[in-house]
C-alpha cells in the first residue's frame, strides 16, 4: 500500500511539474556553428518604453534554452544574441522578434544567417509575421502617395483610407489572433469611433490579452482626452514621486487655489531655461495659494533624479506613468503647461498637441492673450489670484 501511495504521489508531482511547464514558455535555439558561452538575452519593454532584460543564458553545443512564464500572453519580446565576440557579415540587427506565448518555441538556423532564423511553435509570432508581410506593400504605397502629394489633403486622406482598407483585409485573415489588438493599437490614424468598433469585434480572449488591455486603456484615455477643454474638469491620473510611490494628481493639487502642471524633461533645454522663472513666480505667489507640479516625461528615471538634484525645485515633482502626457493630453512637444484650480477645472493651457488639441492661452482684459511661461505666467497667476504685487 505504501508503495502504491508513493508511486501515486510521484505521479502527481510529475503531472504538476508537467502542467507547470505547459503553462510556461520554452525557447530552444538550435544555431549551427554557434560557439559555446555566447550570451543570449530575452528582452521585454517597460511601461515607460525602456528595455527590460528578463533572462540571460549561455550557449552550449550549438544550443541555448530560455524558460519562463508570462501571465498575459502574446507580449512582444526580443531574443538578442551578444555578437560582440563574433565576426558576422554586415551591420545587421542581433535580435529575433517574438510575440511570446506560453508554448514550446524553436529558433532554428545558422550563425551566419542570424537573426534570419526559422521560428517554430509560436502561433502569435507566425501570425504577426504574416500580417507584416501582407501589409508591407500597402504601407509603402500609401507612404509614397503621401510623400508625393505636395500637401494635398485630399490625396493624403485617400492614401490613408486605402491603407486602412488593406489593413482591415489583412486583419480579417487572422481574426482570432493575439496579434490583432497589437496591430490596432499601433495604427495611429484610427479615430476613436474606429478604435471602439475594432475593440468590440475582439473575442474575450483577445480583450484579456496584454495588448487587448492596452487597447482598452488607450480607448479610455482617448475618450477622456476629448474633454480636455477650458472650464472642464481635468481627468485624474497618477504620477510616480521621487520615492517611487504612485500619487494621484487630484490629491496633490487639492490644497492649493491654483496649480501649474508643468510637463518637462531633463534633456529639454527650453524647459530647464524656464525653471528660474518658475522659481520666481512660485516665490511670489506660493503663500497666496499658488503651487507647481512638475511632471517629467524622462524615460530614464536616473536622468530625472540627476536633474532634480541640479535644479532643486522647491515644489512637488513627479515622473509620468504610461505616457499620460501624450495619451491623455495629446502633448507632442515640451515644455507644456496646464493651469487648474482646486476643483480640478482647467483655467488655461499652453502647449502644442496633435489632432484634437491646439495651443490655448489665458486672456487678460486689456492685455490680450498670455501664455504660461516667462513673464506671462507672472501676470496670469497675479490676475487669477487677484493679487497686486
206 has a pLDDT exceeding 70: yes
**201 grid coordinates:** 469585434
Over residues 43-49, the mean pLDDT reads 77
Express each pLDDT in 134-144 by its tens digit.
888 888 888 88
183 has a pLDDT exceeding 60: yes
Express each pLDDT in 286-305 by its tens digit.
999 999 999 999 988 899 99
- How far, in whole angstroms, is CA 353 from its chain's centroid? 17
pTM over 0.75: no
- pLDDT at position 370 is 76
111 has a pLDDT exceeding 90: yes
214 has a pLDDT exceeding 80: yes
- pLDDT at position 69 is 93
8 has a pLDDT exceeding 60: no
CB 345 within 8 A of CB 241: no
CB burial readout 274-303, b (16+ within 10 A) else e: bbeebbebbeebeebbbbbbbbbbbbeeee
- pLDDT at position 5 is 36
CB 298 within 8 A of CB 266: yes
Over residues 168-196, the mean pLDDT reads 84
Nearest of 190, 248, 216, 219 to residue 72 by alpha carbon: 216
Nearest-10 Cα torsion for 188, 194, 200, 206: -20
**DSSP letter assigned to residue 254:** T
CB 64 within 8 A of CB 40: yes
Rounded Cα distance, 77 and 72, in Å? 13
- pLDDT at position 90 is 66
- pLDDT at position 388 is 61
**Could you tell me the CA-to-CA distances from 372 to 12, 58, 78, 336 in Å, in that order?**
67, 54, 43, 9
189 has a pLDDT exceeding 80: no
- What are the residues whose beta carbons fall under 8 Å from the beta carbon of 142, sequence distance 6 or more? 159, 160, 162, 163
Fold for the domain defined by 26-120 = Immunoglobulin-like (2.60.40)
**pLDDT winner (highest mean) among 34-48, 182-196, 222-236:** 34-48
More confident residue, 352 or 244: 244
**pLDDT winner (highest mean) among 48-57, 267-276, 317-326:** 267-276
| Stretch among 93-97, 142-146, 168-172, 361-365 having the lowest mean pLDDT | 361-365
166 has a pLDDT exceeding 50: yes
Name the residue ranges covered by the structural domains of the chain: 26-120, 126-227, 234-385
- pLDDT at position 192 is 83
Confidence of residue 82 (pLDDT cuts 50, 70, 90): very high
Is the sign of the CA dihedral 128, 129, 130, 133 positive or negative?
Answer: positive
**DSSP letter assigned to residue 233:** B
**211 grid coordinates:** 495588448
DSSP 11-67: HHHHHHHHHHHHTSEEEEEEEETPPTT-EEEEEEE-TTS-EEEEEEEE-BTTEEEEE
Strands 290-296 and 258-264: parallel
Rounded Cα distance, 330 and 225, in Å? 8
Express each pLDDT in 328-383 by its tens digit.
887 878 899 999 998 999 988 888 764 434 455 566 555 567 788 888 898 888 88
Q: Which backbone phi and psi does 83 adopt, to 5 degrees?
A: -100, 10
Over residues 66-78, the mean pLDDT reads 91
CB 43 within 8 A of CB 95: yes
21 has a pLDDT exceeding 90: no
More confident residue, 164 or 360: 164
More confident residue, 1 or 154: 154
| Stretch among 18-27, 142-151, 234-243, 275-284 having the lowest mean pLDDT | 18-27
7 has a pLDDT exceeding 50: no
> What average pLDDT does the structure give for the chain?
84
More confident residue, 211 or 49: 211
- pLDDT at position 107 is 97
Rounded Cα distance, 26 and 17, in Å? 14
Neighbours of 363 (CB within 10 A): 13
**DSSP letter assigned to residue 257:** S
Identical fold between 26-120 and 234-385: no
- pLDDT at position 244 is 85
**179 grid coordinates:** 496579434
More confident residue, 72 or 90: 72
Q: Where are the alpha helices (DSSP H) in the chain?
A: 2-22, 123-147, 153-172, 179-186, 192-200, 204-207, 210-225, 249-253, 269-273, 275-285, 301-311, 324-327, 374-385
Over residues 181-208, the mean pLDDT reads 86
CB burial readout 49-84, b (16+ within 10 A) else e: eeeeeeeebebeeeebebeeebeebbbbbbbbbebe
**137 grid coordinates:** 506593400
Nearest of 376, 374, 318, 298 to residue 50 by alpha carbon: 298
CA angle 155/160/164 to nearest 5° reads 145
Q: Given this structure, which CATH class describes domain 234-385?
A: alpha beta
| Stretch among 18-27, 155-164, 244-253, 338-347 having the lowest mean pLDDT | 18-27
**377 grid coordinates:** 505666467
- pLDDT at position 363 is 62
Amino acid at each position: 500500500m505504501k508503495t502504491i501511495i508513493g508511486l501515486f504521489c510521484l505521479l502527481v508531482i510529475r503531472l504538476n511539474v508537467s502542467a507547470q511547464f505547459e503553462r510556461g514558455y520554452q525557447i530552444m535555439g538550435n544555431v549551427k556553428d554557434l560557439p559555446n558561452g555566447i550570451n543570449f538575452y530575452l528582452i521585454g519593454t517597460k511601461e515607460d518604453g525602456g528595455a527590460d532584460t528578463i533572462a540571460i543564458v549561455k550557449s552550449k553545443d550549438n544550443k541555448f534554452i530560455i524558460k519562463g512564464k508570462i501571465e498575459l500572453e502574446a507580449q512582444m519580446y526580443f531574443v538578442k544574441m551578444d555578437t560582440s565576440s563574433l565576426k558576422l557579415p554586415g551591420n545587421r540587427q542581433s535580435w529575433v522578434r517574438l510575440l511570446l506565448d506560453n508554448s514550446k518555441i524553436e529558433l532554428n538556423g545558422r550563425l551566419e544567417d542570424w537573426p534570419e532564423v526559422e521560428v517554430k511553435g509560436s502561433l502569435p509570432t507566425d501570425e504577426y509575421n504574416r500580417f507584416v508581410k501582407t501589409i508591407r506593400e500597402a504601407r509603402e504605397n500609401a507612404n509614397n502617395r503621401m510623400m508625393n502629394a505636395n500637401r494635398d489633403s485630399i490625396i493624403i486622406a485617400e492614401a490613408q483610407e486605402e491603407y486602412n482598407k488593406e489593413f482591415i483585409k489583412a486583419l480579417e485573415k487572422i481574426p482570432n489572433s493575439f496579434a490583432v489588438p497589437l496591430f490596432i493599437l499601433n495604427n495611429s490614424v484610427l479615430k476613436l469611433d474606429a478604435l471602439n468598433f475594432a475593440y468590440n469585434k475582439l473575442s474575450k480572449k483577445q480583450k484579456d490579452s496584454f495588448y487587448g488591455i492596452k487597447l482598452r486603456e488607450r480607448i479610455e484615455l482617448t475618450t477622456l482626452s476629448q474633454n480636455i477643454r477650458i472650464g472642464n474638469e481635468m481627468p485624474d491620473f497618477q504620477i510616480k514621486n521621487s520615492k517611487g510611490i504612485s500619487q494621484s494628481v487630484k490629491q496633490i493639487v487639492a490644497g492649493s487655489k491654483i496649480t501649474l502642471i508643468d510637463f518637462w524633461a531633463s534633456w529639454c533645454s527650453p524647459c530647464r531655461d524656464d525653471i528660474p522663472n518658475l522659481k520666481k513666480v512660485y516665490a511670489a505667489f506660493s503663500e497666496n495659494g499658488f503651487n507647481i507640479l512638475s511632471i517629467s516625461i524622462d524615460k530614464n528615471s536616473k536622468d530625472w533624479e540627476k536633474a532634480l538634484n541640479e535644479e532643486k525645485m522647491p515644489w512637488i515633482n513627479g515622473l509620468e506613468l504610461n505616457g499620460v502626457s501624450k495619451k491623455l493630453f495629446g502633448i507632442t512637444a515640451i515644455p507644456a503647461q496646464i493651469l487648474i484650480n482646486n476643483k480640478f477645472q482647467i483655467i488655461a493651457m499652453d502647449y502644442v498637441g496633435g489632432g484634437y488639441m491646439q495651443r490655448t492661452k489665458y486672456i487678460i482684459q486689456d492685455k490680450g492673450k498670455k501664455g504660461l511661461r516667462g513673464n506671462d505666467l507672472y501676470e496670469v497667476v497675479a490676475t487669477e489670484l487677484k493679487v497686486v504685487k
